[in-house]
Amino acid sequence: MKITLINTTKRLSCDGSHLISALLKRAGHSVKNVLLAKQKDFPYRQDELDQLHEIVKETDLVMIAVYSSFANWAIQVTEFVHKKYPRMKVIWGGPHCISAPELSLRYADGVCFAEGDKVIVDLVNKMEAGTDYLSTPNMAFNVDGSFKINDVSPPFSDLDNLPYYDYDLNDRYLLDEKLLQMTRERFKEHYVFYPFGAPTFTLVTSRGCPFKCAYCNNIRYLAMHGHTPIRFQSVNRFIDELEHAIKRFDFFQYVTFGDDDFLLRDRKQLENFAEQYRKKVGLPFAICVNANTFRMEKMEILLGAGLKSIQLGIQSGSQRVIDEVFDRKIKLTKTREVVRQIEPYYKTHGLNLILDFIIDNPYETRNDIIQTYQYLTNLPPHVRVNIFHLAFFPGTPIYDKALKDGIIEPYDEKTPVFLDKAIKVTYQKNYETTLILLLRFLRHHPRLWRYTPRLVLRILGSRLVRGIASIFPHSFYIAQFKIIRYLAHIIK
């Protein structure tokens, strides 16, 4: 079967579309991949979409990897295909479909709402043979306006039997104003990733997350399976794939492991990894960890192998928000202790520590916000900080709560919801949020940060100054937000 697989992530990554493409090719199907890489002027213009005709005209089936932030692009492509080729089916998969299959079925003929590893090839084989495919597990279908949602298979566990991710450039394209054949140089440009700011290869070597955060669609797996088992790919298997990819694309300078917590592996596995990675790959690498399971002895095993960056989720400086709003089950005393343990390795091993926070949360009080500000002001100067704005993704508990409380409107796929670190403030137009944005601005500009007295930052966050600031209207702080964003734009 001839398949066009379209990715809406806007950038190349280690997401599941590369794996789905590899699985289908291994089963003998032909797959062409298109990356929707538009950088500005959302959404796509009709003349841009029309260029997809050159690929889709030779296709039997269109599949789209959908993220909630870019669901409007998936809708555009789906409507284009249905109008141009009325009999062609469009199947959606990806995080948005896991979170909200019913919303996706408003547009797609079918959606994969759970792991697709075991079912996608069977689905395509049945569609090609003209046999009944509507009972395929992990799939839901729009059948003449009625939704048919099938049973869920047990979590996929045989990760070692999966093929290497598909990065074949010969059948890969990107659409950004013009439909372009993917070249080695374009491929390289789309792999310049945070945190290193240079060509970085990303690989996920496990599945499952120990948390059930209210803002994350990982919680959907709890609803489907009753638990979220952590499954690992063997060290030998993923080192082989990594070595293969790095040799093929020798421009990569760094590696990022996208596992929710790389240190969940036991000590023996980490020692095996460190030895093989040092010999066969040797590039500096980054990992994510969580404070509950962090162990110094595990981290130290990786330092000699090239560990240069650790990312840790804090999310809020308020324990109340972490417990009652985010349902994160982690103590701030624990995250502070882990930060204290990791921080000295910046000087001794060049190890960067990156902390994630979430702001503009309507369920925070001003006292909660100032606690996050105080957490930030007390961090060592070289600790890097990500400050995200809370996004309400459908299918998550916090989305359901905010919808019930009348804080948000029902999700509209045609309205982009970008998970962006520079998006405007919506819910917390106040002095405390202004302080956090000011702090972020200062920390992102090392010269300014170096010469900003910490005493000044503490005074700005004092009860006296906050009391004076509270008399100003919301419009005053909206103006401050705009000024900070403007300064961030012009000062490099």
Taking only the tens of pLDDT, the chain with its 492 residues reads: 999 999 987 666 667 899 999 999 999 999 999 999 886 667 888 999 999 999 999 999 999 999 888 888 999 999 999 999 999 999 999 988 988 899 999 999 999 999 998 899 999 999 999 999 999 999 999 999 999 999 999 998 899 999 999 999 999 999 988 999 999 999 998 888 878 989 999 999 999 888 889 999 888 887 788 777 899 999 999 999 999 999 999 999 999 999 999 999 999 999 999 999 999 999 999 999 999 999 999 999 999 999 999 999 999 999 999 999 999 999 999 999 999 999 999 999 999 999 999 999 999 999 999 999 999 999 998 899 999 999 898 889 999 999 999 999 998 776 655 544 455 788 999 999 999 999 998 888 888 888 889 899 999 999 999 999 888 887 888 787 777 776 766 665
Statement to judge: residues 235 and 189 lie in one domain: yes
Q: What is the pLDDT of residue 482?
A: 77
Going by DSSP bridges, is the β-strand pair 352-359/307-315 parallel, antiparallel, or unpaired?
parallel
Residue 71 maps to a domain = yes
Q: CA 393, CA 412: separation in Å to the nearest integer?
A: 11
**Same domain, residue pair 330 and 404:** yes
Structural domain total, the chain = 2
The 8-class DSSP code of residue 424 comes to P
Same domain, 157 and 243: no
Angle at Cα 112 formed by Cα 110 and Cα 115, nearest 5°? 165
Q: Are residues 6 and 127 in the same domain?
A: yes
Residues 6 or more apart whose Cβ sits within 8 Å of residue 243 = 280, 281
Pick the last residue of a domain from 368, 393, 421. Answer: 421
Q: How far apart are CA 176 and CA 395, in angstroms?
A: 30
Residues 148 and 260 in one domain: no
Answer whether residue 407 is part of any domain. yes
Q: Are residues 31 and 104 in the same domain?
A: yes
Read off φ and ψ for residue 106, nearest 5 degrees.
Answer: -65, -25
To which H or E segment does residue 200 belong? strand 198-203
What's the rounded Cα separation, in Å, for the pair 323 and 429? 23
Burial code (b: 16+ CB inside 10 Å, e: under 16) for 254-275 equals bbbbbbbbbbbbeeeebbbbbe
What is d(CA 78, CA 65) in angstroms, rounded to the nearest whole number? 12
Residues 222 and 267 in one domain: yes
Tokens of 482: 């705009």
Read off the CATH number of the domain in which 272 is found.
3.20.20.70
Q: For residues 137 and 269, state if they share a domain.
A: no
- Can you tell me the distance from the alpha carbon of 395 to that of 458, in angstroms, rounded to the nearest whole number? 39
Give the HSE-up count for residue 480: Cα atoms under 13 Å, Cβ half-sphere.
20
Q: Are 10 and 97 in the same domain?
A: yes
Please indicate, yes or no, whether residues 199 and 128 belong to a single structural domain of this protein.
no
End-to-end CA distance of the chain: 50
For residue 324, give the DSSP letter. Answer: I
Phi and psi at 406, nearest 5°, equal 75, 20
Instruction: Give domain status of residue 471, yes or no.
Output: no
- Whole-number pLDDT of residue 381: 87
480 lies in a domain? no
Per-residue HEC secondary structure of 118-185 comes to CCHHHHHHHHHHCCCCCCCCCEEEEECCEEEECCCCCCCCCHHHCCCCCCCCCCEEEEECEEEECCHH
Is residue 31, in this structure, part of any structural domain at all? Answer: yes
SS3 content of the chain, % helix, strand, coil (to 5): 40, 20, 40
Choosing from 421, 445, 473, the residue where a domain stops is 421
Q: Is 123 found in the same domain as 211?
A: no
Give the pTM: 0.92
- Length of the chain counted residue by residue: 492
Q: Which residue has the tokens 């509270």?
A: 470
User: Which residue is listed with tokens 């440009």?
Assistant: 189
Domain edge (last residue) among 401, 421, 441: 421
- The domain that holds 49 is classified in CATH as 3.40.50.280
Examine residue 153 and state whether it is found in any structural domain, yes or no. Answer: yes
Domain housing 269: 181-421
Do residues 481 and 425 lie in contact, with contact meaning Cβ atoms separated by under 8 Å? yes
Query: In this structure, is residue 65 part of a structural domain?
Result: yes
- 235, part of any domain: yes
Angle at the Cα of 382 from the Cα atoms of 378 and 386, rounded to 5 degrees: 75
Dihedral (CA of 232, 233, 238, 241) sign: negative
User: Are 256 and 311 contacting, i.e. CB atoms less than 8 angstroms apart?
Assistant: no
The confidence score (pLDDT) of residue 421 equals 47
Domain identity same for 135 and 188: no
Q: Map residue 89 onto helix, strand or coil.
A: strand
